[in-house]
Amino acid sequence: MSLSWSRWGRRVLTLAATAVAATAIALNPAPATALPGAGRAPGPTEVTQPLDPGGYPARDRVLDASGEAVVTPAGGTAGRITATGTTTVAVPFLEYSAQFRGNASRVAWLGTRPLRADSIQHTDTWSVDYVAPGYLVFGAPTGAVVHSDGASTEVAWTTTAAGTWYSEHSWANVAFFPNQYGQLYRLRYAVTGVFQFGSAYYTVTGTAVSFT
């Protein structure tokens, strides 16, 4: 009995003490400082880089067009004519297409004599330059004119209002896609106003250009 105690007693006692210590650690864990965001998956609002349909970083950009001039109609006083507009162009990572979204433009006569122009011709122009056999246009406004020369494609939308000082355009989306394959290298957005006072016509244009 004493031999058994001398050979195994110390070992048994040591194991028991270790088990007690381990239990104490489990019952009284040391305080830990939580890392920011620990235990939480990133939400959609935390993604700051927009992605194209293929999952690559998109190359979207905003084009703001603005132009103005000072004119003096016959029998009137000097005043400003303005043309402004904005659009957001969605361009995928490989730069093969362009969608002009949220298009909004305004042209205005800001003079006081006369109070109104006899007529205002208001034009929005969207265009892309590319290396490709050709591009197709989707979503253009009714009555818009499409022109292509093999190196660029342009959409022009014109309306005319009579007896007013202001004209406004709004259009959701004008899209350009290659009919086979293509590479865009330049985007343009322009707003033009032609103001008629009697027999005189005055023109103002605002243009925004971006290289892809």
Residue 24 counted as domain residue: no
Tally of domains within the chain:
1
Radius of gyration of the chain (CA): 34
Contact 85, 100 (CB under 8 A): no
Residue 21 counted as domain residue: no
Burial class for 190, CB neighbours closer than 10 Å (0-12, 13-18, 19+): buried
Q: What is the pTM of this model?
A: 0.74
* Residues paired with residue 129 on neighbouring β-strands, in sequence order: 152, 186
Looking at residue 3, what is its pLDDT? Answer: 43
Q: What is the DSSP secondary structure assignment for residue 55, as one 8-state letter?
A: S
Looking at residue 48, what is its pLDDT? Answer: 40
Looking at residue 67, what is its pLDDT? Answer: 98
Provide the pairing of β-strand 166-178 with 98-109.
Answer: antiparallel
Residue 13 phi/psi, 5° resolution? Answer: -65, -40
Could you list the beta-strand ranges (E) of the chain. Answer: 61-71, 79-90, 98-109, 117-131, 135-138, 145-148, 152-164, 166-178, 183-197, 200-211
Residue (of 113, 203, 120) closest to 163 by Cα position: 120
Residue 207 counted as domain residue: yes
Residue 43 counted as domain residue: no
The whole domain housing 130 covers 56-211
d(CA 205, CA 83): 6
pLDDT tens digit sequence for 151-199:
999 999 999 999 999 999 999 999 999 998 899 999 999 999 999 999 9
pLDDT tens digit sequence for 71-114:
999 999 999 999 999 999 999 988 999 999 999 999 999 999 99
Residue 30 counted as domain residue: no
Residue 8 counted as domain residue: no
Looking at residue 82, what is its pLDDT? Answer: 98
Looking at residue 212, what is its pLDDT? Answer: 80
Residue 82 counted as domain residue: yes
Q: Can you give the CATH number for the domain in which 150 is found? A: 2.60.40.1650
Q: What is the DSSP string of 106-155?
A: EEEE--SSSSSEEEEEEEEEEEEEEESS-EEEESPPTT-EEEE-SSEEEE
Residue 188 counted as domain residue: yes
pLDDT tens digit sequence for 29-58:
444 444 444 444 443 333 344 655 666 666
